[in-house]
Amino acid sequence: MWSLLRTLLVVYLGVLALMWLFQGRLLYQTGMSGHVGTPDSAGLAYESVTLHTEDGLALDAWWIPAEEARASLLFFHGNAGNISHRLRSLEQFHQLGLSVLILDYRGYGRSEGRPSESGTALDARAAWQWLQSREPDLPRILFGRSLGAAVAAELATEVSPDAVILESVFRSVPQLAQRLYPIFPARWLTRFEYPVVEQVREIAAPLLIIHSEEDEIIPFSEGEAVFAAANEPKQFLRIRGGHNTGFVLSETDYLAGIDTFLEESLPR
């Protein structure tokens, strides 16, 4: 019995050590550097853009303009894949009459560097500065999905967007890690914060939270908690489908909900 307990303890401590050492790879899944397509393969005219960060890195980005755009949208994607895996979302935002700037964080796709929490903040600022210079007269929207929602929330505390949309959002990395790995002291092991639930208290712009009750990665209650902490004006859009499929499976309601939010929130 004691031998079995010792073996289990060694395995448990070994898993803890691996979680500590490799948590960066779990959070930032940068393995797919090649593009699977471009916006023109989806029928969208676009421009390749190189963004330059304050610490001297070059980031890969796309600018997809809309004719007679109602607003420009800065798109922060999730923790896996690259900008080329977001073509369906780019089509959807184009249908909504939005010009879009989407970027790959440092270490993702064709962007230079290695990802980090402070690094994604610098990447977000570089994208915001470019967007301000490109479309100074249009309302500006920050959009983030999953990890990108955390990046967007942090940027929204530093700049003045006209609207913010956070999809599949979590309260913070430590809180999410504890929910995903309840048998480990994951909250105390993580080296990352992304404290969204605190940052939304500082956001003054109209806010839309989008979350699916069927999200198998970030529980629906995470989105509810962020929404509860946020300031007014705010709206909640409930969709269906998995973490990576909700915006497609719920497309009709998804687009209608975003359209209504923009109609009510953007300056005319």
Tokens of 86: 């977001």
Q: Which residue among 89, 99, 111, 146 is the active-site one?
A: 146
Q: Which residue among 35, 85, 162, 243 is the active-site one?
A: 243
Active site residue 215: yes
Active site residue 243: yes
Residue 95: CA count within 13 A, CB half-sphere: 14
Q: Decide if 77 contacts 145 (C-beta within 8 A).
A: yes
199, 201, 202, 207 alpha-carbon torsion, rounded to 10°: 90
**Chain centroid to CA 56: how far?**
23
**Pairing mode of beta strands 58-64, 47-52:** antiparallel
How many Å apart are CA 14 and CA 82, to the nearest integer?
A: 32
Q: Which residue among 60, 104, 123, 215 is the active-site one?
A: 215
Any residues with CB less than 8 A from the CB of 82 and at least 6 apart, and which?
Answer: 32, 33, 35, 60, 104, 108, 109, 110
Active site residue 253: no
Q: Decide if 239 contacts 212 (C-beta within 8 A).
A: yes
Q: Let me know the angle formed at the C-alpha of 179 by 163 and 231, rounded to the nearest 5 degrees.
A: 25
Catalytic residue numbers read: 146, 215, 243
